[in-house]
Structure 1
């Protein structure tokens, strides 16, 4: 991974909603024994901590799972939901448990690896969801507590911010969270085919 330059710690010091937008277009890179895979982040969701009913840390809930959310911004927060691993970027200052979920990426390197890991699926379905992208890139619970500035999981500079538009809307899959389900804290690269839940025209 020596030719990859991770974004500096200072990148993660911005407010959570700003970070969720700034992560769009950045390159998510994971190295495993099988090889390296990467993709441009095209969809994120912000989770705003103690006051956010959709956040794992709502009410300052502190458990073994959420402990890393209280740590340094830029730390890796992975958790399992059903049979899937999801990956988040810890944000805000230490002691303030906020995070950004990475919901989708556009594949770049390691496509042959992704094809094996997501066997039998068309390419647009390899990484168009938070549980899909972790499987495709090889992100696991072993990444929990690491930092995105250090291998084997990095976030690096990607697209220039002027090269794409950003859309905003409610988060997905949080129906039982009262008013929090309507907060416009989901961000995505407009018209990107790898964004989750995109409606596709039938041929």
Structure 2
């Protein structure tokens, strides 16, 4: 069985990000279990990536979690919202994956109480999914997945019929990586941020088999 450390290291971060799509992200919150299948994620390639928090080796108290072992949780704030990132590669190599959207599975009533929105608006963005999960602080930042109430299941998963690659959203315009194609998402899934209604696959949500 593949361990978290093995899954989140030893391969290019772009490959890991693609493979993360369809995996179940769950959180044993104080209100109960909430979870969702990952439908959108972005890779950030560390010191050489001008859009990354660790560009040119920048290391602060705020981004220290990125330098942790593979599978370390990096929670940070952006524009007043919380975001969920996972460190990848070996310890000291600050690459990470931002989870941008999930399709809800467990605890829908809890998520809707945390974030009173209907349909895809519930979790179709990094800040939205964190609000729906009930994450309102940095308590679990810099904690390994295995030592936290979060889990990325490598067994409970769905298979995307097609994965789209694009430029990342809302990243720094400095350097040459602004438009790098490091965003990956499940084609047609309604819970992908910014997905237009005409591009949504309402029948299968972009999975190989209908849910």
Alignment match, 2:208: none
In the superposition, the TM-score normalised over structure 1's length comes to: 0.90
2:6 paired residue among 1, 4, 10: 10
Aligned length: 195
Where does structure 2 lack aligned partners over 5 or more consecutive residues? Answer: 199-211
> What does 1:1-203 correspond to in 2, within 5 Å?
8-13=4-9, 14-119=11-116, 121-139=117-135, 140-157=137-154, 158-161=156-159, 163-174=160-171, 176-201=173-198
Deviation at 1:179, TM superposition (A): 2.3
Deviation at 1:92, TM superposition (A): 1.2
Per-residue CA shift, 1:107-137, capped at 9, x if unaligned?
Answer: 0000001111111x22210100000001111
Deviation at 1:75, TM superposition (A): 0.4
CA distance in 1, matches of 2:118, 2:158: 28
RMSD: 1.7
CA distance in 1, matches of 2:144, 2:186: 24
Q: Which runs of 4+ in 1 moved over 6 A?
A: none
CA distance in 2, matches of 1:7, 1:46: 20
CA distance in 2, matches of 1:109, 1:7: 23
Deviation at 1:199, TM superposition (A): 1.6
Change (3 A) 1:144 1:6: farther
CA distance in 2, matches of 1:27, 1:109: 10
Per-residue CA shift, 1:27-77, capped at 9, x if unaligned?
Answer: 000011111100000000000001111000001001001111111011000
Change (3 A) 1:32 1:23: same
CA distance in 1, matches of 2:82, 2:163: 26
CA distance in 2, matches of 1:95, 1:148: 17
Per-residue CA shift, 1:153-183, capped at 9, x if unaligned?
Answer: 111123344x521110100002523421110
Higher relative contact order structure (alpha carbons within 8 Å, sequence separation ≥ 6)? 1
Where does structure 1 lack aligned partners over 5 or more consecutive residues? Answer: none
Contact 1:72–1:91 (Cα < 8 Å) also in 2? yes
